């Protein structure tokens, strides 16, 4: 009986409901030291000195670590500067790390560390930051721009290596802030003559959209612990969505070979894109420096101030259409806030998604990434997609009103379908946008939208996400007890173990309760990308399917020799290998 489409309980559900699951903050470890952050108060300042005297006098305090105490040799962003060294670049930036025998001692001592800071001009507003005469958000060189971890979430264009991504917009230096010291990304996604397309349109609508920073709101705060094994291996146990990403980041930061860093992903108490190498570099560097186990679990306010929320954006968008509803062109600019670290921006993704899933004869969309004196930016549930959809879908409604057209019919007339290509040039293999709109069109709420009481309304908007395509691998092993064990490096945040077990059972030919799913670490699991970008099922899942199929083929080959029957004449049923349709001769798995 197929397990596809059958409702079932989550495999980890009972342990989580009963409180038996151990997260990073619950894990015991002999000799463990507890860490507490000392956060900067100023948004921008030069560090004149850090006084540790009173903090070190607190009983139980082992060390007060500053940037000079950490063995950092490389890396960028948080890994390159897990603690501010000479310059504070946002209010909430970690400046020191107090390490003590107890959490209470660490917290008490953190409040006694005095940071002598000389205030500098702060840059907090995106438009002000883009001005040619804007003060620099960093006195030290701003990090190189780019989408960083955002590229692991999606297939959207992220740099000038993409065929449709061009350099800075010609003659737009003053508009796009190319001369500002704070602009680290200036890209253009263009095809056709957008200006001419707008000129020939019968209706043109435009608007500015401003979205705010958004914290991911996970229940478990950022958490990681690390220790050094007797053989010199650095082990990091972290609430992370990307074990291999964390391993690479930490190895580069400390100048270690990859085989000397092991990252063990722990159960995650919520992530939504935010659990990617935030506390990991700090505890790794601290444990490596002190040669003792160190754990850091952010307090809630520390998480708000020093983690990696989704960035704010400023979107200017203009689009046009003929009177019959045919779209003619879209033109616009997306300005994304990178925060002070500059390590991740989503404006490139937003610029592409600002065109929506629609057919445009011409487009001209610019992405500008800006460094400000704000916390470093991160991902949050389809990074960059909600602001982009907010902009284009609002304007489509306004365009429909201008032309006197039904909003859904306007979308249906122009929506992409299988075989079409989006503005990124990629052919769409399958896409359910049309079917979705058609279902919504028939919904009673939409049908009765003109009969609602005053003060109530019904709107429609269409969002989409291109998804990510990082490589993934899996191991399927038939054990001596006749059960199949699946091993991956995927982080389970949404019950994905159920899907993995179903895929393996369906492919191999076993009942699902005879499939184990094991989460490996970077030393014993095959490579896997981050668990993000809505791609885990179709990357890891495909790897599991292929591994299970190969395991099945090998089993049938062995059984064929034993039963003296061709492999293609054998089947696996009820935990047995037997001739197709026959029950007399069988080998128990």
Which CATH number characterizes residue 166's domain? 3.30.365.10
Reply yes or no on whether the pLDDT at 211 is more than 60.
yes
Q: How confident is the model at residue 356 (pLDDT cuts 50, 70, 90)?
A: very high
| Pairwise CA distance, residues 32 & 35, whole Å | 10
**Distances in whole angstroms, Cα of residue 406 to Cα of each of 401, 410, 440:** 8, 6, 13
Q: How confident is the model at residue 160 (pLDDT cuts 50, 70, 90)?
A: very low
Reply yes or no on whether the pLDDT at 77 is more than 90.
no
Of 306, 326, 358, the one marking the end of a domain is 306
pLDDT in tens, 561-583: 988 899 998 988 888 898 987 77
Under a CB-based contact definition with an 8 Å cutoff, are residues 468 and 533 in contact? yes
- The reported pLDDT for the residue numbered 440 is 96
pLDDT in tens, 364-382: 999 999 999 999 999 999 9
Looking at the chain, the whole-number percentage of residues with pLDDT higher than 90 is: 80
Is 127 within the bounds of a domain?
A: no
Listed in sequence order, the residues at least 6 apart from 6 whose beta carbon sits closer than 8 Å to its beta carbon are: none
**Residue from 385, 435, 389, 383 nearest 408 by CA:** 435
Answering whether pTM is above 0.75, one says: yes
| Pairwise CA distance, residues 523 & 493, whole Å | 21
Reply yes or no on whether the pLDDT at 209 is more than 60.
yes
* Per-chain mean pLDDT for the chain: 91
- The reported pLDDT for the residue numbered 524 is 94
Q: The sheet that has 475-478: what strands, in order across it?
A: 475-478, 484-488, 515-519
**Same domain? 265 vs 159:** no
Reply yes or no on whether the pLDDT at 148 is more than 60.
no
Under a CB-based contact definition with an 8 Å cutoff, are residues 60 and 105 in contact? yes
| Pairwise CA distance, residues 287 & 293, whole Å | 6
Is 6 within the bounds of a domain?
A: no
| Pairwise CA distance, residues 50 & 66, whole Å | 8
Of 263, 289, 306, the one marking the end of a domain is 306
Q: What is the mean pLDDT of residues 295-313?
A: 97
**Same domain? 285 vs 317:** no
Q: What is the mean pLDDT of residues 264-281?
A: 95
**Residue from 441, 533, 456, 536 nearest 488 by CA:** 536
| Pairwise CA distance, residues 62 & 187, whole Å | 48
* SS3 label, residue 182: coil
Is 2 within the bounds of a domain?
A: no
Q: How confident is the model at residue 159 (pLDDT cuts 50, 70, 90)?
A: very low
- The reported pLDDT for the residue numbered 172 is 35
**Same domain? 577 vs 486:** yes
| Pairwise CA distance, residues 83 & 495, whole Å | 35
**Same domain? 88 vs 157:** no
Reply yes or no on whether the pLDDT at 439 is more than 60.
yes
pLDDT in tens, 305-349: 999 999 999 999 999 999 999 999 999 999 999 999 988 889 999
Number of domains the chain is built from: 3
**Same domain? 81 vs 193:** no
**Same domain? 110 vs 251:** yes
**Same domain? 281 vs 320:** no
Is 5 within the bounds of a domain?
A: no
Residue 106 belongs to domain with CATH number? 3.90.1170.50
Return phi, psi of residue 187, to 5°.
-125, 160
**Residue from 399, 361, 337, 308 nearest 192 by CA:** 361
Domain that holds residue 548: 475-588
Return phi, psi of residue 358, to 5°.
-125, 165
Under a CB-based contact definition with an 8 Å cutoff, are residues 161 and 149 in contact? no
| Pairwise CA distance, residues 488 & 471, whole Å | 12
Of 306, 333, 363, the one marking the end of a domain is 306
Angle between the 433-441 and 407-414 helix axes, to the nearest 10 degrees? 160
- The reported pLDDT for the residue numbered 168 is 38
**Same domain? 222 vs 263:** yes
| Pairwise CA distance, residues 514 & 487, whole Å | 14
**Same domain? 255 vs 286:** yes
Is 142 within the bounds of a domain?
A: no
- CA 527 distance to own-chain centroid: 17
Q: Lowest mean pLDDT: which of 24-28, 99-103, 156-160, 173-177? A: 173-177
Q: Lowest mean pLDDT: which of 23-37, 176-190, 305-319, 523-537? A: 176-190
| Pairwise CA distance, residues 522 & 64, whole Å | 30
Is 18 within the bounds of a domain?
A: no
Return phi, psi of residue 55, to 5°.
-65, -40
Q: The sheet that has 313-321: what strands, in order across it?
A: 165-166, 183-191, 363-371, 327-339, 313-321, 203-211
Is 201 within the bounds of a domain?
A: yes
Q: How confident is the model at residue 177 (pLDDT cuts 50, 70, 90)?
A: very low
**Same domain? 202 vs 70:** no
**For residues 78 and 320, which has the higher predicted lDDT (pLDDT)?**
320
Is 20 within the bounds of a domain?
A: no
**Residue from 483, 482, 512 nearest 500 by CA:** 512
Under a CB-based contact definition with an 8 Å cutoff, are residues 370 and 182 in contact? yes
Reply yes or no on whether the pLDDT at 431 is more than 70.
yes
Under a CB-based contact definition with an 8 Å cutoff, are residues 365 and 396 in contact? no
**Same domain? 385 vs 317:** yes
**Residue from 241, 378, 221 nearest 297 by CA:** 221
* SS3 label, residue 469: coil
Angle between the 243-254 and 280-290 helix axes, to the nearest 10 degrees? 50
**Same domain? 498 vs 582:** yes
| Pairwise CA distance, residues 54 & 61, whole Å | 10
| Pairwise CA distance, residues 252 & 234, whole Å | 13
- The reported pLDDT for the residue numbered 585 is 80
Q: Lowest mean pLDDT: which of 31-45, 159-173, 476-490? A: 159-173
């Amino acid at each position: 009986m197929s397990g596809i489409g059958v409702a079932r309980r989550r495999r980890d559900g009972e342990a989580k409901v009963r409180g038996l699951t151990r997260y990073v903050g619950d894990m015991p470890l002999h000799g463990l030291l507890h860490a507490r952050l000392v956060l900067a108060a100023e948004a921008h300042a030069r560090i004149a000195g850090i006084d540790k005297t009173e903090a070190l006098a607190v009983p139980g305090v082992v060390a007060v670590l500053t940037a000079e105490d950490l063995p950092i040799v490389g890396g960028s962003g948080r890994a390159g500067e897990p603690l501010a060294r000479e310059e504070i670049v946002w209010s909430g930036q970690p400046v020191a790390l107090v390490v003590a025998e107890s959490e209470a001692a660490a917290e008490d001592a953190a409040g006694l560390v005095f940071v002598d800071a000389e205030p500098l001009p702060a840059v907090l507003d995106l438009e002000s930051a883009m001005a040619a005469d804007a003060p620099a958000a960093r006195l030290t060189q701003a990090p190189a721009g780019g989408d960083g971890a955002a590229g692991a979430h999606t297939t959207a264009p992220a740099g000038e290596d993409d065929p449709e991504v061009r350099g800075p917009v010609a003659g737009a230096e003053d508009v796009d802030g190319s001369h500002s010291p704070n602009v680290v990304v200036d890209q253009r996604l263009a095809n056709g003559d957008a200006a001419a397309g707008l000129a020939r349109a019968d209706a043109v609508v435009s608007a500015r959209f401003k979205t705010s920073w958004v914290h991911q709101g996970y229940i478990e705060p950022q958490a990681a612990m690390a220790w050094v094994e007797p053989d010199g291996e650095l082990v990091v146990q972290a609430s992370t969505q990307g074990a291999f990403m964390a391993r690479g980041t930490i190895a580069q930061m400390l100048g270690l070979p990859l085989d000397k860093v092991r990252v063990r992903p722990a159960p995650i108490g919520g992530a939504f894109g935010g659990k990617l190498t935030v506390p990991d570099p700090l505890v790794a560097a601290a444990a490596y420096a002190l040669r003792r186990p160190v754990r850091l679990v952010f307090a809630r306010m520390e998480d708000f101030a020093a983690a990696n929320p989704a960035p704010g954006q400023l979107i200017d968008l203009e689009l046009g259409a003929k009177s019959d509803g045919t779209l003619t062109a879209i033109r616009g600019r997306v300005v994304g806030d990178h925060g002070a670290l500059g390590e991740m921006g989503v404006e490139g993704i937003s610029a592409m998604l600002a065109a929506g899933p629609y057919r445009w004869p011409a487009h001209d969309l610019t992405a500008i990434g800006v460094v400000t004196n704000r916390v470093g930016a991160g991902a949050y549930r389809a990074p960059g997609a909600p602001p982009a959809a907010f902009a284009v879908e609002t304007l489509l409604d306004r365009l429909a009103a201008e032309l006197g057209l039904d909003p859904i019919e306007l979308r249906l007339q122009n929506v992409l379908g299988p075989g079409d290509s989006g503005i990124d040039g990629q052919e769409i293999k399958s896409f359910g946008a049309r079917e979705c709109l058609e279902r919504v069109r028939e919904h009673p709420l939409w049908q009765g939208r003109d009969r609602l009481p005053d003060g109530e309304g019904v709107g429609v908007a269409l969002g989409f996400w291109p998804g990510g395509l990082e490589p993934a691998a899996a191991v399927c092993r038939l054990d001596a007890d006749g059960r199949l064990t699946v091993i991956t490096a995927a982080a389970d945040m949404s019950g994905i173990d159920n899907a993995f077990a179903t895929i393996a059972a369906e492919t191999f030919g076993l009942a699902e309760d005879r499939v184990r799913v094991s989460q490996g670490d970077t030393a014993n699991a095959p490579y896997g990308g981050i668990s993000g970008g809505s791609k885990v099922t179709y990357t890891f899942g495909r790897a599991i399917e292929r591994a299970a199929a190969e395991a099945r083929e090998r089993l049938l080959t062995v059984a064929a020799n034993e039963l003296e029957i061709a492999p293609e004449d054998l089947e696996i049923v009820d935990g047995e290998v037997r001739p197709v349709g026959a029950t007399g001769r069988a080998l128990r798995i």
